A and B are shown apart, each in its own frame.
Chain A
Amino acid sequence: MGAVVVLVDHRDPRWRGSAAPLLALAHELGGRQGWSVDAVWVGPGHDEEVATWVASTGPVVQHVVQVDGADPQLPASLGCALRAVADDAAARLVLVPSTFEGREVAGQLAALTGSGVVVGASSVVVEDGLVVAGKAVLAGSWRTRCAVTSPLAVVALDVHAAAAASPATPPGTGEAEVRRHRVQAPAAASAVQVLVRAARPVTERPSLAEAEVVVVGGRGTGGDFSGVEDLADALGGAVGATRVATDEGWAPHALQVGQTGVTISPRLYVGAGVSGAVHHRGGMAASATVVAVNTDPDAPIFEVADVAVVADVRTLLPALAAEVRSRRHRSG
């Protein structure tokens, strides 16, 4: 016996987006290992709608954890809540989404329990009784597989990779036992005061970390992002930017893709006037299909591009957006 425990990360108003793929993967893995699938909701807000939705994704148990004495969204609170559930469920594996915040929760939980942790994972399997996580490292230039030898494994999983591995949402029974827990927050979490927590403005476009299509503009746009935005809208995708473009103020910092920005792994990445510096590649190397548009035939990004387009973005982007729209129009 054993269990795979999945954090339903609801700091994000679009929490289903990260929970669904992790639960689907947990279901598949759990089914093969004979492990139960346990979903965890930390803090308030576990209403009937949440309960019904979570139950429909196939877990056996839904754990709802109330954290006393601290803000439930702090990594230390989440770490201690997950620890309590992992104990209760006799968990072999805890899955969290591999956002910056998810990695912190993974770090807390692993340190508290002395467990092995892998973050930024793109796959999880069980081999010879051990949890084995796959991931791309060094700006995507190497692939590694890493086994966890402790009784509990903590894995922060790339949500897109999980979605690609288990695309179908498992048919849930629609009934999952709800188990409620109360844990006392550690002193280090109780000491933290949340002075302000304001939602960032939401745009019409899909969020960068979750979008299936991302169009990234770099220095080669010369500061005019209208072509990037136009193509993103034509493809129903998000806009991203290189550090140069955000430093220049052509795009907000929140749109920076790369190792010090957002890590993305969309189905389609379009790099427009992006050189493909190693710092940037670190954040987009997991994209499924890479299209790069650059005037320089030797641009490093072409080394990782499935489609290399030697062209000037200023003319290509508007023309491409128009072509995409006309095809969608015809087919739709």
Chain B
Amino acid sequence: MVALVKHVPDVQSARSFTAEHRLVRGGPDDSLNELDEDCLEAALHLVEATPTSSGQDDDESGDGARPTRTHRVTALTVGPPAAVGALRRALAMGATDAVHVSDEAVAGSDAVATARVVAAAVDHLHAQHPVDLVLAGMAALDGLGSLVPSAVAALLGWPQLTLADRVQVEPGSPGSPGGAVTVRRTTAHHVEELRAPLPAVVSVTDQAFRPRSPSLKGLLAARRTPVDVIGLADLGLAASTAGAAGSTTRVLDVQPRPELADQVRLVAGQDGRDVAAELADLLVERGF
């Protein structure tokens, strides 16, 4: 399984933009996107629920609690050098390997260009060791686009089962030799249950799983597990397909929100009734 993770600026910090209209990254509090902990948890949970085939257990650490090599959870990120922080956190939670697509040419990629790099990286991993599932969080807390998983699925040509609040994987059977995944998702107007053969792309909401905290063992393993750093050339991608060159959107300007010019402030006395009338008048005045 491949879990997509992203290193993002702390949402509580004063986030801002560079002169090139890019989000300022690399602050001391930048961290793994919280919503990606949900997809890591989903991946770890699914791997742990799948029995390992005997004789293929080559987990060198001998740590029974960690998934074996036959069912790996690979954390994958695309981003600047500091993004390795997200991978370290993923390893600490229990991911078996970490892959970092780090290339100067990636800077400034928009959503589609990012999806192109992610899809190429998944293809690359799939060629080495078959990937059953690509798991993603429901949104990255910086851009809040919620469209990269969908775009990745389109580029891979794999089924997309997104915004799942329940996920179940069935191993291969005569009917579907490669196994299948079933999810439940709640849309604005429906509750759906969808099923697709593997491999597939799944994104999970924050209602799906309760992310575990890293264990001491996990924290130690996170430090000694090597991170596989690859560039666009390793993925067979030309530099012009990523970054600003490979993006077809361009931010023209960014402005801080205008200050509230005319805030009305009402302070209630003991029982609140005094301001209720005043507030009701205000609402009527404004046409409500």
**Which residues on A are within 8 Å of B, measured CB to CB?**
11-13, 74-76, 79, 99-101, 103-108, 110-112, 114-120, 132, 136-150, 156, 186-189, 191-200, 207, 209, 213, 235, 253-254, 259-260, 262, 267-268, 278-279, 282, 289, 291, 297, 302-312, 315-316, 319-320, 322-324, 327, 331
Contact = CB atoms under 8 A, between A and B. Distances in A.
Contact of B266 (A193, A207, A309, A312): A309
B216 interface: no
A188 B268 contact: no
A147 B272 CA distance: 48
Given A101-B187, A192-B159, A144 B144 contact: no
Contacts of B152: 111
Nearest to A328: B284
Given A103-B146, A120-B144, A142-B256, A307 B160 contact: no
Contacts of B182: 195
Interface residues of B, number: 86
A316 B272 contact: yes
B154 A79 contact: yes
Given A114-B112, A260-B139, A253 B147 contact: no
B272 A117 contact: no
The 7 closest A-B pairs by CB, nearest first: A107-B150, A107-B147, A311-B268, A116-B248, A323-B280, A319-B276, A315-B272
A188 to B, nearest CB: 5
B56 interface: no
B250 A192 contact: no
A141 B256 contact: yes
Contacts of A99: 188
A331 B280 CA distance: 13
A150 B146 CA distance: 21
B232 interface: no
Contact of A143 (B16, B161, B205, B254): B254
A322 B193 CA distance: 43
B72 to A, nearest CB: 24
The residue in B247, B248, B253 that gathers the most chain A C-beta atoms within 10 A of its C-beta is B248
B154 A260 contact: no
Contact of B163 (A100, A307, A316): A100
B190 A198 contact: yes
Nearest to B23: A138
Interface in B180-211: 182, 186-197, 205-207
Nearest to A136: B257
Contact of B112 (A76, A110, A140, A195): A110
Contacts of A196: 191-193
The residue in A12, A279, A323 that gathers the most chain B C-beta atoms within 10 A of its C-beta is A323
A103 B190 contact: no
A303 B247 CA distance: 35
Contact of A200 (B150, B162, B191, B283): B191
The residue in B196, B205, B256 that gathers the most chain A C-beta atoms within 10 A of its C-beta is B196
